[in-house]
Every structure is written in structure tokens, then in C-alpha cells.
Amino acid sequence: MRPAFHETSNVCFAVLLCAMVSGLSAFAIPDGQSPIDARLDADGRTFTVVVPGTIAFQAGYSAQIEFDGHPLVLSPDSSPRQPDTARSSESTPLGSAEVATTTCSFGDARVDLLFRLGVVPGVSGVIAQAGIRNNGAKAVKFVSSTPVALAGQLAGNPSTWLATALFERDPAAAMKPAALAVSDIVTPLSIHECGTLYRPDGNGFLFGPIGTPIAYVNTSLSHFKDGKFMLSVSADMGSVLVEPGETRWGQQVLILVEPPQTAVARWTDWVAITHGALKSPGAMSGWNESNTAFHRKDATKELPAAVDVVRTAGGRLRPQVIRLNDPLAGVLAAEWQPAAVMLTAKAGARPGVRLDPGGEIGVITRYDTTNITGAVRLAVQRGFRDLEIASPPPDMPAPDGRRTSFEHSRDWWTAIRKAAGADVHLMCNDNGPNRAAVGLVDACRTGAETGLDFNAAIRNMFKSLHLQGRWFTVACEEYHLKPVGGSPSDIKNGWPMIRTWISMVGLSCGAAMTSDPWYTDDFTPYWRNIEVLTPPATEHPFAPDMCIDRTWTRLVGQVHREWGDWTVVLLWNSEASEAPVRLDFAAAGLDPERNYAVWSFWDNRYLGVARGSWTTPSLASGDSQHLRFTDLDRAPGKPVVVGSSLHIYCGAAELESVTALASAMEIQLTDAGARDGDLFVYSRQQPVLRNATGCAVSSITAAGENVWRISIAGRRQNETQRIELDIRLPFTRQLWFWLLVSAAMAGLLFGVWRYIADLRLQREYALDRERTRLARDLHDDLGGDLSSIAMLSDLALPHAGDSEAVSGKLQEISTISRDTVRRLEEIVWAINPANDDIERFAVYFCKVAQTYLELAGVRSRFDVPDQLPSRPLTSTQRHNLFLAAKEALHNSIRHGKPKEVTIRIALRDDNLVVTIEDDGAGFPESTTLSTGNGSVNMAARMKQIGGTFERRSQVGRGTVVVFSVPLGGA
């Protein structure tokens, strides 16, 4: 086991707390560059960390050495001189950090205590590191460094603050809850490597190692009355020798004051970069022969049986790796080893072997790598491409005393990797995450054996989720289909717990290995549970309760694809009694304002639509709901896949692509998952199979309101698998229906238009006939009578004698009659439809104008085209234009006294333009239309027919009047 936290460090910590003082620093990271303020206090012996509105604490630093065989604590307060401070910068994965370095000298031991404090701009965290420099003539032993030793006051109720150990140091003796209330800490709590201190609202911080790999880190957390606490983070240097003139630094640590999900991800990525984590090859699934619980007696029979069942299972069993157990089977020494490798290869799996340095290969002590590296090379030479290194030796320093236990552990894994080569899949089986193996192994076991109680394994799995694909592939303890030789009821909480554990293994996206004897008849009904885990998905799930709750009962995996997003959630009851579990959509990254289809994996059933939150029914202890939530508001009107029983991740692994239209859908599958199963599609109309390639669709049935179950069978491996569906739209949404409706509407509109047009033509024809009749009657009857009156007056005039009165009256009757006849002729001309064109208007107006000007004794000039186009001019237009032009002539003669009047008629830009120009007296330009002279009437007439009226005049230079009428009607 790794060494426990040294009690001497606690003594040092107590001394430091007594020496802490308040005050501002002589050195401070520049303001405005980081959300955290980290300051060395005025004397350089302590430092202060402040995150406005979140946290503030004062801390010290120290180191423990062994000098001349005696332990010695180096702390700034015991140094006779005030520390020297220098400022520098340091490159980090998140940018350049501003760093302050202090040096405290201890004359008697001739040793300097070194300390570095810094922040990275934009990151709400502080980095700290402590070390020593040997200035003497003798070597000293570096026992430990403590870069952070702080005392603080917890805000609010201490029972709401939770301490979480993210790395279980001893999985078998793990604390029962996932997190422990600070108020429940009676004796100092030891946390290995990385831990957190948070309230349920997310306020708090994370602490853990970063930077160059040097040493394991241990933290001691103590709680006192009234919410006071002490926290000391120390690096275990293992009493390494520091020679004269040599400087040795302890492990750098990081304190992140950010929400748990952000802080854990940032710390994980930081370590992955500084430790050179390998690019994840992806998790694998398969069969492991190494579980000794099965008490196998003859591995030479079990392996062929496992291979035979894989080859005859019709593609249902597709292990990516088959791993043998060397100590029990003696694979490397057995004569049948070549056959074992070939058998495994025939099953389409990677041949693997479990090597145990503490087993029959020979006990390894003090990091003697000779035996293990020799076994690794031999295994690789004989064709094994998957190696599990079980039970690494305990952490202990090297014989030369120059390397920490961490460094020697890393050297050990480096030697194994070199012996195995880069293309061999290497797994560390250390019953917990080992930072020393980062960058050297492809996978790491992160939990204890499940046995008959899965609770400890579940806690370990939750705490290692953030490592998946970042440090290495997470290898949870094996899943089980059922206990060997027994029934699911033999396991604590029975089949519900087995089902929950299978879900957790699958949703972790880590390795999915089992030791179950697939080849026995009683396991055949459980094969489907193997299929749905093959191969593991590649998502990154998280626990919303991480570090902010005592028990973590929610596991969330968000899936993002081009064709849509969905969320897979596992809600399990970790309590001893029956209870429901609630999921808040906002906490799970779902939009609480949207509608989500809810589908249950183990029930293979659509449960309905949820909004804002979801609460399970009351679940038995250990039972769970494995659900998929699919956003229905993203693409309204289009079909959406809302569930899949083919793979444990409900579509993330087995769906290659989905193309959805309102009337059709195409689903392309990968080889992942079960050969038979169901897809669930949300569609207001029933999907109908058009074509299936590489598989068969046995039925499409209703599975709920607007939800359809598409049952798939016989998925053929290594072939394109595609399902094409048509969506039975109602006839009101069919194209042909709307084309028919459009055609009918077009026909109806055309008929109505023709009817209205016919009515208009008939009305216009009747009106023209009436206008013709009226013009004829006026002309023939009334015009004739008036002409007769004028003629009789003329005949009676010579017989009037000398009576001047009678003679005058007869003359007046004759004049009025002739004027009336002339005006009547104008009216008859205006209403006669035969005159409805511009040419007849021009002829008639010029005739009237010429007669009128001759009677007035004024010369007339006409500028009219020889041929005017035959364009219609309505009676209303002719009548108003004629009267307006006549009014203009009248005004010209009456007011201008011209000698000559010019009349121009032209067609311009589809407008009939009549211009009357005289050389009369004119009038001022400032004269408005409202000043008389008939201008108001002329303007009103032109406005009535949509035309324009313009008048230009100057005194002594005549007047120009222009009328413009748009052709086509008013």
C-alpha cells in the first residue's frame, strides 16, 4: 500500500497555523489578469488566496527532512531570516503563469526551504509547490513537502459542506457515502491524490497534483467546532536523498475554486497534458478467463468452449478481446499456447493474457522489473496483443534512495511499456486509478471486485468517470450476467442491481469485460446483455451530483450528432429502502422549457413526454431507470428517433446517421449492438417500410401516442445496414392533394373571373348602347327642337316691325338657342362611346378651339401629329379633359388678351398631353391656384381622372397650361 499521511506533517501544520498573520502582500499577482487573487503576505511566510464572493483563506508552506538521522520541519516562521522573494513566469497547459518564489534559509542544517506560488490568467485557481536546496556538505533525506497548509472558516452549516475523495486509496474499505459531511469528520480524514470540498450550491474548491510527475500527494482534512477546518496538502517524497548542492522540488499542487464539473475536468486535462497521456484507443469489450471465483480446473477446455460458442452464436457474441489468466492456466509455459492464440484469433478477438507479478511468475520486490518485463516480452513474442498487469508491487523507494515511490512506479510502467511495444494494449490492474501509469498504459482498472455487493464498485466507477478517455480507458470491475452456479437473487438486491451495474458499466464508456461462462446453457438467455455492451460507446458521461451530494444517484450522458441531440440518464436508488429519484433538467444540461420524449431502455418502452424535470416511480433499493430524453421541439413536423434497444447507450453507438423529412426517413446503422431489437420513432403519422438493407424489419407497430416501434431482426455483420421509411401523411398533407386543391381553386377563380368579366362586358355593352341612344335622342330630338326655335326666331325677326323690345327678345332667343345647341353637341360628343379614343378627342377639341378663337378674333396654331395611335380614352377622361382645356382657352381669351394661341396635343410616356400656350399679358408666378381664373376647377377635374395640371406664366410673356392624362382609364 502507498504510505499514509505522515503525522509529522500535522505537527508542522499546527506550528504554521500558530504563526499565521494577517496583512497584504509585498508580492501580488497583477489585478485584472485572473479571477483569483493569490498573494504572499508581507513577510513572505504565509500567503493569502481570495476569490471575490466565493472563498478566502490564509495558508502556509513547509517541508520535512531528515538531517543527521533526526527529523526536522522546515517552516518559514522558524527561519532566522525573512524569506527572499523573486518573480518569474511558468509555462502551463492553460497559459503562462505568474509565479512568486520565496527562499527561507536554515543555517544549522545548511538547507533552504523553497516555495512557489502562482496563478494562471483567466483561471480561478492557484498553483503551489514546495522544495528544498541542500547547501551543506552532507546529503539530507527529503521526507515530504507541504505546499498548502490552510486554516479556514466554513460559511454556514458545516453539515452542508462535503468532502470527496476522488481517488479511493483502499477501495475495499471505502467510505460508505460518495461524499462525507465535514461535520462528520471526527479524526483527520486522509484523501489520496485528489479531493474536493464543496457545498450543494457548488461553492468550494478542488485540490490535487499537477505539473511534472514527481510524487504521490496526500491531503489531511480536520474539522473543529464552529465550522473551522484545517487542510494540509503534502507530497510524499519517500525520504529520497538530496546531495550537496542539489535542489529537489516536491509535487506541484493545484487549488481550483470553480464549480465541481468545471474544476474536475480542468484538473484532469491538466494532468493528462503534463503526464503525456496516450491518445485513447477506445474501450474494448470481451471475455476474461481470469476470475478465480469460477474455480476453473482445466483452462484448456474452457477457452475452446468460449471460442466455439462465439463462432456458433450467429454474430451475437463479438468479443473484441479474449483474455486468459497466466497464473492459473500457465499459458506462457503451456504447450497449447500457440493453439490458444489461434483459437482467440478465429473468434475475431485480440488475444490477451493477464500477468501477475505477485503470482506464479514470481514475487517481485523493490521494483525488480526483470521477471515482469521478461514475461511481457515472451507474451508479445507468442502473439498476445492485450496485456493486463495485475497486482503491481507496493509503493516503495528504490534501493539507491534517489527516486520517490511515484517515480519508481512510473519507471516500472515505463519498462513494461518498452517491453510490450507501442501497438500492444496495456492495462494496469491496481484496483484504483494510478497517476504514475498515465501516458504509459491504455487502460486502468478503477474499482474493486463487485462480488455479491456492487455498492463500492459503483462509487468507484462514479469517481473515475472524468478519467475516461482523458488519462486512459476506464476499466470498471467486470459486469456479470448472473452469479456462477446460482441465480440473480444471490446478489444483494438481486436482478435490479445486476441491471443497474450493467447500465453503469455501459454508460461509463469504459471497458466492458465479463468472466461469465458464455458457453453454458443457462447463460444463453443473457446473451443479449453482452450484445448491447459491444462495443463500448465513446461518449463522456458525468454525475450531476458529483462532489455536491452525499450519494450520487444520477449518471448523465449527453449525445451530440449532426441530425440531433439526446441525453441518456441512469437514475438509481442508492438508499436501503424504496424511494423515487428525481432528475432536474437544468442540472442535467437539458432545456427545462422544451418537451422531451422519455424512453426506458430496460423496459423497452416509451413513457411519454416530460418538461422541466422527471421523477421515477418508487424504486427498490439498487433498482434504476435507464432513460433516454429526446428533444421534440428541435425539428417539429419531422420524425425523430427517440429510443433504441440495440445498444446500452440508446443510439450513440449503433446509429450511423439519421435523415428525416416530413414524408420520409432513412436510418443507417453501424455494426454495434444487438442483432435483434427495436427502434422507436416519434411521428404524428405512421412510418411505412420502403426498403431494408443488411437487416430485416419484422413489424412497425404503435408504441404510444405518436410513437412507433420498428422491430429489427437479422442484422448482418460487415454489411451496410439501412432502413428507409415513408411517412403516411394524411391526404391533407399530400402533394397530390394540394395540387388538386390548387387546380380546383385555379379553375374556380378563373370561372369567377370569367363570370365577372362577362358581367362587366355586358354592363359596358349595355351602357354603351344606352349612351348611344341618349346621344342620338339628345341630338335628334332636343337638338332638333332647339335648332327649330333658333330658326323660327330668325324668321320672325323681320316681321317684328319697329318694336325694339320684340326684336331684342327674338335675337336673344336665337342666340341662346344656338349656344344651347352647341353645348348640347359637346355633351352628346362626350357621352357617345364612339368617341372614346384620343384621335377623336384631338379632332373635336381642335375644331371647337378653332371656332372659339375665330369668334374671339385670335389667331390659332395647332401642333398635332398627323396620326395619333388608336388608344382608348374613357368618356369621363374625355369630358373632364375637354372641359378643363376649354376653361383654359376661356381664361386665356378673357384675361390674357392674346394675339395668338398655340395648342399642342402629344403622346408622352403613355400619357396624353394637351398644352395651351398664349402670348397674352400673363400674370405673376406667385399667383396660386386658389386665386381664381378657373384654376381650381381645372386642377380638380384633372385629379378626378388621375391626371395632372400645370400652369406657368410671367407678366408680359404669356401663359402655358399643360394637362396630362394617363391612358388606360381612371
Average pLDDT over residues 644-655: 96
Q: Is the pLDDT of residue 24 over 50?
A: no
pTM reported for the whole predicted model: 0.73
Average pLDDT over residues 18-38: 44
Alpha-carbon span 643 to 630, nearest angstrom:
8
Q: What was the pLDDT predicted at 694?
A: 95
Taking CA atoms, 13 is separated from 7, 60, 251, 253, 427, in Å, by: 10, 8, 18, 17, 38
Q: Is the pLDDT of residue 761 over 80?
A: no
Alpha-carbon span 353 to 345, nearest angstrom:
13
Cell numbers standing for residue 712:
429489427
DSSP annotation string for 574-633: -SSS-B--EEETTTTT--TTS-EEEEETTTTEEEEEE-SEEEPPPBPTT-EEEEEEEESS
Higher pLDDT, 602 or 771: 602
Share of the chain residues as helix, strand and coil, in percent rounded to the nearest 5: 30, 30, 35
Least confident stretch, 52-61, 197-206, 902-911: 52-61
Alpha-carbon span 113 to 247, nearest angstrom:
10
Q: Is the pLDDT of residue 558 over 90?
A: yes
**Where is mean pLDDT largest: 310-314, 773-777, 827-831?**
310-314
Q: What was the pLDDT predicted at 316?
A: 92
Q: Is the pLDDT of residue 767 over 50?
A: yes
Taking CA atoms, 628 is separated from 254, 505, 579, in Å, by: 37, 16, 21
Q: Is the pLDDT of residue 259 over 50?
A: yes
Residue 837 contacts residue 870 (beta carbons within 8 Å): yes
Average pLDDT over residues 383-410: 80
pLDDT tens per residue across span 86-144: 888 888 888 888 899 999 988 777 899 999 999 887 888 899 999 999 998 899 999 99
Residue with cell 410671367: 954
Residue with cell 505539473: 211
Residue 304 contacts residue 340 (beta carbons within 8 Å): no
Could you tell me the pLDDT band of residue 358, with boundaries at 50, 70 and 90?
low
Positive or negative: CA dihedral 89, 92, 95, 99: negative
pLDDT tens per residue across span 863-872: 888 888 878 8
Alpha-carbon span 572 to 557, nearest angstrom:
15
What one-letter code names the amino acid at 469? G
Average pLDDT over residues 905-934: 77
What is the share, in percent, of the chain residues with pLDDT greater than 70?
80
Q: What was the pLDDT predicted at 279?
A: 87
Q: Is the pLDDT of residue 352 over 80?
A: yes
Q: What was the pLDDT predicted at 760?
A: 75
> Which of helix, strand or coil describes residue 965?
strand
Residue with cell 332638333: 784
Alpha-carbon span 693 to 437, nearest angstrom:
45
CA nearest 887: which of 844, 952, 966, 941?
941
Alpha-carbon span 858 to 403, nearest angstrom:
129
Could you tell me the pLDDT band of residue 13, with boundaries at 50, 70 and 90?
very low
Q: Is the pLDDT of residue 295 over 50?
A: no
CA nearest 727: which of 708, 742, 741, 711?
708
Q: Is the pLDDT of residue 360 over 70?
A: no
Higher pLDDT, 384 or 29: 384
Residue with cell 513572505: 44
Average pLDDT over residues 327-331: 47
**Where is mean pLDDT largest: 228-237, 457-466, 787-796, 810-819?**
228-237
Q: What was the pLDDT predicted at 490?
A: 61
Q: What was the pLDDT predicted at 156?
A: 81
How many CA within 13 A on the CB side of residue 568? Answer: 26
Cell numbers standing for residue 68:
543527521
Q: What was the pLDDT predicted at 10?
A: 38
Q: Is the pLDDT of residue 713 over 90?
A: yes
Q: What was the pLDDT predicted at 926?
A: 56
Could you tell me the pLDDT band of residue 361, with boundaries at 50, 70 and 90?
very low
Say which residues have a Cβ less than 8 Å from residue 293's Cβ, sequence separation at least 6: 484, 515
Could you tell me the pLDDT band of residue 453, with boundaries at 50, 70 and 90?
low
Q: What was the pLDDT predicted at 174?
A: 45
Question: What's the chain's average pLDDT?
Answer: 82
Q: Is the pLDDT of residue 586 over 50?
A: yes
Higher pLDDT, 764 or 705: 705
Q: What was the pLDDT predicted at 8?
A: 35
Q: What are phi and psi of 644, to 5 degrees?
A: -150, 125
Give Cα 374 to chain centroid, integer Å: 50
Give the max Cα distance, the chain: 171
Q: Is the pLDDT of residue 849 over 90?
A: no
Average pLDDT over residues 9-38: 42
> Which of helix, strand or coil describes residue 14?
helix
pLDDT tens per residue across span 103-114: 998 877 789 999
Average pLDDT over residues 429-446: 89
Could you tell me the pLDDT band of residue 180, with boundaries at 50, 70 and 90?
confident
Higher pLDDT, 786 or 880: 880
Residue 221 contacts residue 188 (beta carbons within 8 Å): yes
Cis peptide before 535 (omega within 30 of 0): yes
Alpha-carbon span 166 to 748, nearest angstrom:
76
Alpha-carbon span 814 to 827, nearest angstrom:
20
Average pLDDT over residues 539-548: 92
Could you tell me the pLDDT band of residue 524, with boundaries at 50, 70 and 90?
confident
Q: Is the pLDDT of residue 28 over 50?
A: no
Tally Cβ neighbours within 10 Å of residue 381.
9
DSSP annotation string for 39-64: EE-TTSSSEEEEETTTEEEEEEEEEE
Higher pLDDT, 20 or 44: 44
- The residues pairing with 643 across neighbouring beta strands, listed in sequence order, are 680
Q: Is the pLDDT of residue 970 over 50?
A: no
Average pLDDT over residues 617-625: 92
Q: What was the pLDDT predicted at 426?
A: 95
Average pLDDT over residues 828-846: 77
Can you give the C-alpha Rg of the chain in angstroms?
A: 50
Residue with cell 446500452: 648
Taking CA atoms, 393 is separated from 320, 429, 959, in Å, by: 29, 11, 120
Alpha-carbon span 818 to 851, nearest angstrom:
14
Say which residues have a Cβ less than 8 Å from residue 934's Cβ, sequence separation at least 6: 887, 888, 890, 891
Say which residues have a Cβ less than 8 Å from residue 783's Cβ, sequence separation at least 6: 821, 824, 825, 828
Residue 231 contacts residue 25 (beta carbons within 8 Å): no
Q: What was the pLDDT predicted at 260?
A: 93
Label residue 238 left, alpha or beta by phi (over 0 means left) and psi (-120 to 50 means alpha). left
Alpha-carbon span 505 to 473, nearest angstrom:
12
Q: What was the pLDDT predicted at 870?
A: 78
Tally Cβ neighbours within 10 Å of residue 56.
14
Q: What was the pLDDT predicted at 505?
A: 92
> Which of helix, strand or coil describes residue 664?
strand
What is the share, in percent, of the chain residues with pLDDT greater than 90?
40
Residue 121 contacts residue 95 (beta carbons within 8 Å): yes
Higher pLDDT, 401 or 245: 245
What one-letter code names the amino acid at 846? C
CA nearest 254: which of 92, 412, 383, 393?
92
DSSP-derived letter for residue 634 is S
Q: Is the pLDDT of residue 712 over 80?
A: yes
